[in-house]
Amino acid sequence: MICRQNFGGSMNDLWQAMTTAINLLVTFDTSLVEIVVRSLGVSLTAVFLATVLGLPLGAVMALSRFPGRRVLLVITHSLMGLPPVVVGLIVLLMLSRSGPLGALGLLFTPTAMIIAQTILVLPIIAALSTTVFESLWQEYEEQLMSLGAGPRARIQALLWDGRFALMTAVLAGFGRANAEVGAVMIVGGNIDHVTRVMTTAIALEASRGDLALALGLGIVLLLLSLAINTASYSVREFARQRYQA
């Protein structure tokens, strides 16, 4: 009997949390919107930085031959599965007051979170873009040489012709940044109004019992993930139909 009552009670709680969550979403609740905006700001900045660093790195690994290239490739691919908490820990050690970059005073700021996520996303974009550049280069090398294309023109051609495949690599990086909780939790500290983002807020509110906000943010995260994958799929389909690429 008690058991049943409890069950019924928790169902009610869940129902109530759900309706409140949807209410928060449709009314653009300020605390929810603030967290979503901060999350997107941190992740998009990190993905932008990782793209700016990762694409040239991928191009270099794909096109040039230098000692240690294979080792670098294996390491980059391994780092794609880097546990976010480990990255968080390393960045924490670097930025903590006694660490080598402690003087910058970045710990528990959004900048620290951006650094951590950039490190997390960089291997994904670098490794995936290496594959894109390698297969394109294999196809284009003779023709581009024959046309007398210099290094700059070659890279430009590969970037432009690989644009769709590279876009999906960047989206994969964004998906990763968006979903991780470990790294930003450690280096950001989940401070309200300062470093609280969607994933850390969910972790906190779930343990504290504010299911409505947690669920509302969870829905936003799921929708974002859906949007990223829809975009990625559409880009691939478009490229396949238009260029048979």
Partner 1 sequence: MISTTPPYPIRLDKVWFHARTKPLIKDLSTTIADVEGLTMILGPNGAGKSLLLRLCHGILPAHDGQISWGERQDPGLQDQRQAMVFQRPVHLRRSAAGNIDFALKLHGMPGPERKLRIKEALDLTGLSRYHDTPARLLSFGEQQRLALARAWALAPDLLLLDEPTANLDPAAQRLIEEVLQKMIAGGTRVLMSSHDLNQARRLASQVIFLYRGRIKEQTSAEKFFAGPENDLAQAFLRGELLWWRRRAVFEPDPDKENDDF
Q: Which positions touch partner 1 (CB under 8 A)?
A: 139-140, 142-143, 145-150, 153, 157, 161, 239, 242-245
* Residue 61: CB minimum distance to partner 1, A: 22
Closer to partner 1 by Cβ: residue 60 or 144 = 144
Report helix, strand or coil for 244.
coil
Closest CA to 132 of 50, 61, 234, 227: 61
* Residue 241: CB minimum distance to partner 1, A: 9
Whole-number Å distance between alpha carbons of 36 and 229: 19
Closer to partner 1 by Cβ: residue 179 or 245 = 245
Sign of CA pseudo-dihedral 154, 243, 162, 77: negative
Let me know: does 121 contact 100? Beta carbons within 8 Å.
no
* Residue 45: CB minimum distance to partner 1, A: 30
* Residue 51: CB minimum distance to partner 1, A: 20
Closer to partner 1 by Cβ: residue 72 or 157 = 157
Residues 6+ apart with CB under 8 A from 152: none
Closer to partner 1 by Cβ: residue 81 or 148 = 148
* Residue 140: CB minimum distance to partner 1, A: 6
Whole-number Å distance between alpha carbons of 102 and 138: 45
Closer to partner 1 by Cβ: residue 131 or 225 = 131
Closest CA to 197 of 44, 41, 54, 79: 41
Closest CA to 117 of 56, 170, 173, 171: 173
